[in-house]
Amino acid sequence: MAEVLVSSKFEAKPQVSRTLKLWILLAGAIVGLLVVSLWAAVSGVSSSVFRTEASLVGAAMGGPIRILLPIVATLVCAPQVSAILNNRFVVYTRTRASIRGSLGKSVLVLVAQCFLVFFVIGSVLTAVAYWLMPLWFPSSVDPSLYNLTASEALASEASIAPLVNVLINHGAFAYVLSVGLWSAFHAVAFGLVAILAAILISRVFIAWLIPTGIFLFQSVMLQVLDFPAASFIGSATYPSGLSNFSLGQALLALWVLMFAAVATLTVIIFRAPVMDRFA
Amino acid sequence: MKITFRGFIYGISSAPTLILAAVMVSVTLYGTLVTWAGTDASAWVVLLSSLGTSQSIIVFGLLWWLVRIHAVAKWATNELVLVRSGSRVRALGGAVALALGELLATGLVIAIVSIASAPWRWHNEWHFSGGDQAIESFFTRPLTALLATGVYAAVAFMLVAILLFSVALRHGAQWAIGVSAVIYAWAAMSSFGVTDDVAVLDISRAFTLPWALTTGSFIFPLLLLAVAAFIAFRRVRVLDHFAHRRSWFAFDSRLAVLLPMLLSFVFAALAFVSMEHATQGELVVAFFAGDGGDLVLYLAAMGLILTGATVAIAPSVSSAEDRYTEESIRDGSARRWFTRHAVVWFLRSFAISAGIVLAVLAAALIVQPGTMAADLSRDAFIVFVRVAVQVFFYASLGQLLLWVAPIAVAWPTTIATALVLGYPFVLDLGDANVFAAFSTIHEGLPAIADWNSIYGAFACAVAAVIATAMRATTNRSPSSVRYQTG
């Protein structure tokens, strides 16, 4: 059995360029998530009538992506960190490069990837839901069914989904970008938590579940405690709710997570030269 | 716990505590006999207005506290204590526990003697208070305000203690004396209003809740708190201490089995507060509504089930990752390794499911007591069977994945897929919903013998067990002996 173990572990594999592989993985994540979200959006849109195009965006951003955000952010950010720590890559690299520098660089690159993935997904989904879906399903948007004019419908939508104010004040293009930025910043916060978990917890099986655990726990607790706007399930991809939605609460949740993650990660990078984890 | 109790015993009989208590009694008596003489103000209002001022808390309280914790800091920096603790972080923990005990003891003594010296009028109303407006509009009852003020001051005191202990452990107790002198001088000046014109410097807000509410800003105390915690943690290298402990978040420990139950109890208790149902059995059934309930309850139930499954397979995963070769040689064959772990994950699945359902039931009994239903056990049993089948399904799937793909990637992906497919975002699977088989309960309680709704999940679980057995017993090693990339 020993031979089987060794040969399966160290078998020579055809080498693909690392960068190419990375781009294929990222593109796969984007396309896969987009396909699932669009499928869910189409199956929702084809059977109901919305009051404005903006409510259609809310429905598209309220599908599977709402739950998948922390998991995908983890799978984008955590593997590389776990790999360099568990393969003793760091130990060999440290003789040639400063650990602070290399760790900081990895974190920046991973955060940028995470940002890119969710910015693309958020803005593409919004653009499709705002411009294309009303063309595919012409009967899916009808404010008169709600006894509203188009502008009244937009105003009432803005009271439950605050980003619609961007649409009213700055136009559709800014709206699409703002939704992309909103979900990208939330994904970055969870990506940072994933990096942190991968550094602090050496058992990978557990470490990669931490961001999703925080997401689910925080969402259930705050929803049940009647602060739905501050729960990540209600605001991480697209802030919207059934009654008046306070953007302040949603931003507070993001700010707290981001602050905690950035502060702890800064301390870790700063202390990296003397931490046992990197030795 | 033991150290806290020891601190409590030290604190309750020590001279500084008694001196502080005497000072507090005189302050309260002054309030009773002079400031509030001839009014109908309740004892709580008098206590709050005399003990809750920044002068009482800082000039007397903080001084006493700094004297007390200096003794504790000297104890913690003693070489014998350090050696016995094993690390600075543990020595810090011990010092904090001791200080907490002393704080509790003093709180108790002060509470007893001040209540005795306050006017004996126990109505819990603000009227005739004429005191501080900000705290009156924030709390509806003076007793709540008094308790909140006490807790607020206690938290600030403990924070100062942690900061000074970490300075003492890092640089020696004499440095802690210097730091505490600076803190006391600054706080005392703030409490006498020297810094009122420069609000940023007003540290007394961090100790006194009524004053913090009057000035209307918590940002500064929060910032101080963050800075103090940062400095303290940096001094004693808390992060390093945790970063190289392998057992941190050890889901494969025996104690981890309690985690799903704890989560179940918290989630269910919170959910039941807003639900109005007739019987506990119906509450339990409503909690596991699956895709028939709202998204949040669905996520809560799925979260419990997936946490349960993770805990159930964690021993197998760590065994497979760390010492598969050694353990299978010791067992004698791959088949015996597999059998041993199969028994463990089967039993753990059912024990955890029983714990989840019992915790939810306990939450129902506590939150909405007195409506005991005759067929409570029947309802709970029906839910238990469905939860157990679901946990067993995910545990078996995890075992299979362990032999097919790197589990660290495969398990989050499985969770993502399960969460999406269990709730009809994309597909409405109906009775074929093996990802959240408990969902069918919402269509009316099924009979105990009605297996249709859970047959799918159970069949899938059995298939996964058979596939795992075939894979695991034919001379193969787990797929993720160590997580690797490239």
- The yes-or-no verdict on residue A122 having pLDDT over 90 is yes
Q: Is the minimum CB–CB distance between A207 and chain B shorter than 8 Å? A: yes
- Chain B interface includes A39 (CB < 8 A): yes
Angle at B437 between CA B431 and CA B441, to 5 degrees: 80
The amino acid sitting at B112 is I
Candidate ranges A122-126, A158-162, B244-248; pick with highest mean pLDDT: A122-126
Does A271 touch chain B if contact means CB atoms closer than 8 Å?
Answer: yes
Q: Tell if the CB–CB gap between B240 and A276 is shorter than 8 Å.
A: yes
Instruction: Please tell me the distance in Å from B19's CA to the nearest CA on chain A.
Output: 41
Q: Does B126 touch chain A (CB under 8 A)?
A: no
**pLDDT score of A188 more than 90:** yes
Hey, are the CB atoms on A209 and B415 less than 8 Å from each other? Answer: yes
Q: Does A20 touch chain B (CB under 8 A)?
A: no
- Nearest chain A Cα distance for residue B187, angstroms: 27
H/E segment holding residue B248: none
**C-alpha–C-alpha distance, residues B259 and B107, integer Å:** 33
C-alpha distances (whole Å) from B476 to each of A1, A9, A178, B319, B357 are 8, 12, 50, 15, 37
The nearest CA of chain A is from the CA of B188 a distance in Å of 31
> A5 and B239 in contact by Cβ < 8 A?
no
Coil/strand/helix, residue B198 = coil
Lowest-confidence segment of A11-15, A200-204, B304-308 by average pLDDT: A11-15
A71 CB within 8 Å of a chain B CB: yes
Selecting from A5, A201, A267 the residue whose C-beta is nearest the C-beta of B239 gives A267
Scanning B148-207 for CB atoms below 8 A from A yields none
Interchain CB distance below 8 Å, A205 and B244: no
Give yes or no for B332 touching A (CB within 8 A): no
Q: pLDDT of A210-241, one tens digit each?
A: 999 999 999 988 888 778 888 999 889 999 87
Strand partners, A141: A50
Contacts of A8 in chain B (CB under 8 A): 477
| Chain A, nearest residue to B252 by Cα | A206
* CB of B485 less than 8 A from some CB of A: yes
CA nearest A64 in B: which residue?
B420
A35 touches chain B (CB under 8 A): no
Alpha-carbon gap, residue A187 to A193, rounded angstroms = 10
Q: Residue A7: which pLDDT band, with cuts at 50, 70 and 90?
A: very low
| Residue positions counted in chain B | 486
Q: What is the torsion angle, in degrees rounded to the nearest 10, for the CA atoms of residue B211, residue B212, residue B214 and residue B216?
A: 170
Please provide the average confidence, as pLDDT, over all residues in chain A: 85
Distance CA B39, CA B43 (A): 11
ipTM above 0.90, yes or no: no
Residue range A135-143: average pLDDT? 86
> In angstroms, rounded to a whole number, what is the distance separating the alpha carbons of residues B54 and A241?
43
Q: In whole angstroms, what separates CA B405 from the centre of its chain?
A: 34
Q: Give the torsion through C-alpha atoms of A6, A8, A13, A19, to 10 deg.
A: -90
Q: How far is A217 from chain B (nearest CA, A)?
A: 8
* Interface contact A166, partner B, CB < 8 A: no
**Nearest Cβ partner of B234 from A201, A221, A267?**
A267
**Amino acid residing at B17:** T
Q: How many residues does chain A have?
A: 279
Q: At what angle do helices A210-224 and B258-274 cross, to 10 degrees?
A: 20
Output the pLDDT for position B261.
Answer: 86
Gyration radius from chain A CA atoms = 22
DSSP string, B408-475: HHHHHHHHHHHHHHHTTTS---GGG--TTGGGGGGGSPPPTT--HHHHHHHHHHHHHHHHHHHHHTSS
Q: Please report residues of B whose CB lies closer than 8 A to that of A36.
A: 420, 426
Rounded Cα–Cα distance for residues A133 and B233 (Å): 53
- CB of A203 within 8 Å of any CB in chain B? yes
A4, pLDDT greater than 50 = no
Q: What share of chain A is helix, strand, coil (3-state, %, to 5)?
A: 80, 0, 20
Phi–psi pair at A50, nearest 5 degrees: -105, 160
A50 strand-pairing partners: A141
Give residues with Cβ within 8 angstroms of B310, minimum separation 6. Answer: A209, B251, B398, B411
With a cut of 70, list the residues of chain B below it in pLDDT.
127-133, 195-200, 216-222, 235-254, 277-278, 370-375, 440-452, 475, 480-486
Q: Identify whether the C-beta of residue A99 lies closer than 8 Å to the C-beta of residue A268.
A: no
Query: B99 — contact with chain A (CB < 8 Å)?
Result: no
Find the distance separating the first CA and the last CA of chain B, reported in whole Å.
Answer: 48
Distance, in angstroms, between A254 CA and closest chain B CA? 17
Amino acid (one-letter) located at A43: S
Alpha carbon of A258: minimum distance to chain B alpha carbons (Å): 15
Q: Residue A17 carries which DSSP code?
A: P
Does B366 reach chain A within 8 Å, measured CB to CB? no
Count of Cβ atoms closer than 10 Å to residue B170 Cβ:
17
CA–CA dist B154, B287 (Å, integer): 38
Contact by Cβ (8 Å): B24, B47: no
Structure tokens at B324: 């598969």
Per-residue pLDDT tens over the stretch A49-95: 888 889 889 988 988 899 999 999 999 999 888 888 877 777 777 76
Q: Considering CB atoms only, which of B230, B234, B420 is closest to A64? A: B420
| pLDDT over 70, % of chain B | 85
Mean pLDDT over residues A158-180, rounded?
Answer: 91
Q: How far is CA B197 from CA B135, B202, B215, in A?
A: 22, 9, 12
